Structure 1
Amino acid sequence: MTLALKRLTRHFSALAALDDVSLDIADGEFLALVGPSGSGKTTLLRILAGLDYPDEGSVTRNGQDFLAASARERNVGLVFQHYALFRHLTVRENVAFGLRVRPRRRRPSRDQIRARVDGLLKRVQLADLGSRYPSQLSGGQRQRVALARALAVEPDVLLLDEPFGALDAQVRTALRRWLRELHEELGLTTVFVTHDQEEALELADRLVVMNKGRIEQVGPPHVIYQDPATPFVCEFIGRTNRIVMERRGDTWAAGGWSVTAGSSGGRFRSAVAYIRPEHLSLSVPEGKPAWGARLRHVYLAGSIAHLDIHIAEIDQTLEVDVASEDLGRLALTPGTALRVAPTRLVAFPLDDSPAGLPVVGERWVMQDRG
């Protein structure tokens, strides 16, 4: 089952919630929609669920018009951030609800419903809590009930709208790994909306990065992170340092650091470089291009140490990530003088306007092979 979205457009007054969106969703895929608020993620999910309709465009499933089917006929499971459980029904009754409201000719027997609900409660690790009410459950347990209810109708597509947004960090981590295992075990096609980049990078087969109703980039998580296609993706996915470079003969340079330009951006005078915190070397040998920097702060975060370093010659403070065990080996304490240079960066040329905007369609990657 392949879902093909073609040139979807959806306006709310003058706002384009979706603007010419095209996307294919493969059978059995775990797809994450990420982007800031207002980027169109939830609107796209609601269209797939049958809760909204596009102004233009089409959605087909195996060549058939998906939009012509009612929400019930589409056979999708939908899970919201705030559970949407029926407070007056027990856990067991909540999970069985979608089966019991089916038309009589499609409704399973009571014994079949009971067997399916029991199986799902066992699968979501709630087998002993079927007689409880939602108010008697923790947030993580309620979210698992919501997932079981969505799975009870045996959906072709599972749609998740910020399902873990109301949970604390530890519960989120446990549930998202459990969800990924469940997705693989049941062979589901899952479309997942989240603001949490770490969640998306960990769970998804592919990420769809959205901005202002349009798709900026689609690809596997490692490609999105390592090779972002646009400045927006660079800044939205993960942490990054932004540095403006100038063309100096056959090099791109910023302060005392430079890199051979080669054939990159030959007709441009300036460019913006995006450098991940882990792609900054703190011990560049003398004689190689580098910035002189001073370590300002060290923030320990378990096995990783986040450093703030200040580079006076370009008047910027950059973020650097190192392994916590390297702090002692490199004698990294506040005030330490360092020689710093990127080992890898993604760059975009800037136009000659006063704002110096990135040029659409121009991009290159530079990497220190030494």
Structure 2
Amino acid sequence: MSLVIDNLSRRFADFAALDDVSLRLAPGEFLALLGPSGSGKTTLLRILAGLDYPDEGTVRQGDRDFLAAGARERNVGLVFQHYALFRHLTVRENVAFGLRVRPRRTRPSKAQIRDLVERLLKRVQLEDFGDRYPTQLSGGQRQRVALARALAVEPELLLLDEPFGALDAQVRVALRRWLRELHEELGLTTVFVTHDQEEALELADRIAVMNRGRIEQVGTPQAIYQDPATPFVCEFIGRTNRIPLHRAHAEWLAGEWPLAMDPWGGRYERAVAYVRPEHLALAVPEGQPAWNARLRHVYPAGSVTHLDLHVAEIDLSLEVDVASEDIARWGWQSGAVLRVAPQQLVAFPIDDDVGSAVVRDRWTWRPPDRC
């Protein structure tokens, strides 16, 4: 059954933690709530878990008023960043805890609890660690115990609050791929809170990008990255180059590089374009529009090399990503002058009356042969 969130707002004194948030979560979907600290993602998760309540708005699951049910009645599994395991209980006892504290009429028998716990420990690859205590486990193992405990109550909705935030990078990569496989196997509806873009892009079916208590954009990872809806999403998701544009008659310019059209029909004088590092072409042939950029630094990063360039004519710094084998083949070194041009971009006009971008007039541009 879909979970429908309508117009949720939550304030703490003068701070709007959530500001008119609406979202629909499909059954079996893996949704990431992605945003910086203070964006409202954890507040939204706590409301779904029954640990907090909104000042306004509704959450419905089919015909059911989700918010009217208590935390225990919502059939939700919750996993925290710092595990929240009971130090005095063994791994097996931690996993069984949620079942043993159920009311007698809904509590499984001891044999049923024992069988379920053993199945869960095997599922999270900890079947040989049941008699250990949390302090005897690594961080990754403790997080898997926390996840097994959440799964023990057979939740309809699994809520994960930055579950890998306390782990080192290598363990995070292994666990998030394992979590995605587990999600697909169980078919659970999952909401995953994170400020890590890579985690969200790799794990989620859809991403809700949050900022200052509002949702800026909801979409698939590919849509969020390739077609960002707001300047905030452009700058928060991945790396990007911010390029000022100005209008000259019927075209837009960034220095000598022209965008030979006016998508806004003369209504604006200024705009800002965002170009991903991999969407900048190097070695543009003479006769085609391009900037002359000086290569300042070369940063090898495995199969990809990051280039730092400077366009003197508009005092613009650019980041460009290229395959490392191309750097070796072309022999580029610091000090080289390269001809650089965008291959695609997202642009927002600027309303000079308010001094901010006009999101509703967002425009995506690609050269004709890339459309």
Task: Give the structure-1-normalised TM-score.
Answer: 0.98
Structure 2 counterpart of 1:323: 323
Report the CA distance between 1:264 and its aligned residue.
3.5
Structure 1 counterpart of 2:147: 147
| In 1: Cα distance, 2:162 partner to 2:171 partner | 14
Letter in 2 for 1:300: P
Structure 1 counterpart of 2:191: 191
Report the CA distance between 1:285 and its aligned residue.
0.8
Structure 2 counterpart of 1:31: 31
Contact 2:75 2:156 in 1 (8 A): yes
Of residues 331-340 and 165-174 in structure 1, the stretch that sits farther from structure 2 once superposed is 331-340
Report the CA distance between 1:54 and its aligned residue.
0.3
Structure 1 counterpart of 2:255: 255
Structure 1 counterpart of 2:365: 366
| In 1: Cα distance, 2:207 partner to 2:318 partner | 27
RMSD over aligned CA atoms reads: 1.0
Structure 1 counterpart of 2:79: 79
Runs of at least 5 residues in structure 1 that lack an aligned partner in the other structure: none
Contact 2:34 2:208 in 1 (8 A): yes
| In 1: Cα distance, 2:80 partner to 2:286 partner | 56
3-state SS, counterpart of residue 94 of structure 2: helix
Letter in 2 for 1:120: L
Distance 1:192 1:265, change over 3 A: farther
Letter in 2 for 1:102: R
Structure 2 counterpart of 1:232: 232
| In 2: Cα distance, 1:286 partner to 1:316 partner | 21
**Percentage identity across aligned positions?**
74
Structure 2 counterpart of 1:282: 282
Q: Which digits, 9 at most, give the CA deviation of each residue in 1:249-275, with x for residues without a partner?
A: 221111111112243453111100000
Of residues 137-146 and 299-308 in structure 1, the stretch that sits farther from structure 2 once superposed is 299-308
Contact 2:263 2:363 in 1 (8 A): no
Distance 1:141 1:265, change over 3 A: farther
Letter in 2 for 1:196: D
3-state SS, counterpart of residue 306 of structure 1: strand
Structure 1 counterpart of 2:90: 90
Structure 2 counterpart of 1:18: 18
Letter in 2 for 1:356: G
Contact 1:278 1:320 in 2 (8 A): yes
Structure 2 counterpart of 1:200: 200
Q: Which digits, 9 at most, give the CA deviation of each residue in 1:60-119, with x for residues without a partner?
A: 111210000000000100000000000000000000000000011111111111110000
| In 1: Cα distance, 2:306 partner to 2:367 partner | 22
Report the CA distance between 1:36 and its aligned residue.
1.0
Letter in 2 for 1:364: W
| In 1: Cα distance, 2:127 partner to 2:263 partner | 63
| In 2: Cα distance, 1:266 partner to 1:108 partner | 70
Letter in 2 for 1:89: L
Report the CA distance between 1:283 and its aligned residue.
1.1
Contact 2:229 2:359 in 1 (8 A): no
1:139-178 equivalence runs, <5 A: 139-178=139-178
Contact 1:265 1:349 in 2 (8 A): no
Structure 1 counterpart of 2:306: 306
Q: Which digits, 9 at most, give the CA deviation of each residue in 1:176-219, with x for residues without a partner?
A: 00000000000100000001001000000000011111111000
Contact 2:81 2:164 in 1 (8 A): yes
Q: Which digits, 9 at most, give the CA deviation of each residue in 1:139-162, with x for residues without a partner?
A: 000000000000000000000000
3-state SS, counterpart of residue 328 of structure 1: helix
Task: Give the structure-2-normalised TM-score.
Answer: 0.98
Structure 2 counterpart of 1:117: 117
**Would you say 1:104 and 2:104 are equivalent positions?**
yes
| In 1: Cα distance, 2:92 partner to 2:263 partner | 64
Contact 1:8 1:57 in 2 (8 A): yes
**Runs of 4+ that moved beyond 4 A:** none
Letter in 1 for 2:13: S
3-state SS, counterpart of residue 368 of structure 2: coil
| In 2: Cα distance, 1:193 partner to 1:265 partner | 41
3-state SS, counterpart of residue 46 of structure 1: helix
3-state SS, counterpart of residue 71 of structure 2: coil
**Would you say 1:217 and 2:217 are equivalent positions?**
yes
| In 1: Cα distance, 2:212 partner to 2:63 partner | 29
Report the CA distance between 1:330 and its aligned residue.
2.2
Contact 2:252 2:262 in 1 (8 A): no
Letter in 1 for 2:64: Q
Report the CA distance between 1:290 and its aligned residue.
0.6
Runs of at least 5 residues in structure 2 that lack an aligned partner in the other structure: none
3-state SS, counterpart of residue 131 of structure 1: coil
Report the CA distance between 1:317 and its aligned residue.
1.2
Report the CA distance between 1:136 and its aligned residue.
0.4
Distance 1:265 1:347, change over 3 A: farther
| In 2: Cα distance, 1:237 partner to 1:23 partner | 20
| In 1: Cα distance, 2:99 partner to 2:222 partner | 39
| In 1: Cα distance, 2:127 partner to 2:49 partner | 29
Of residues 331-340 and 258-267 in structure 1, the stretch that sits farther from structure 2 once superposed is 258-267
| In 2: Cα distance, 1:349 partner to 1:300 partner | 35
Letter in 1 for 2:271: A
3-state SS, counterpart of residue 129 of structure 1: coil
Structure 1 counterpart of 2:338: 338
| In 2: Cα distance, 1:189 partner to 1:116 partner | 20
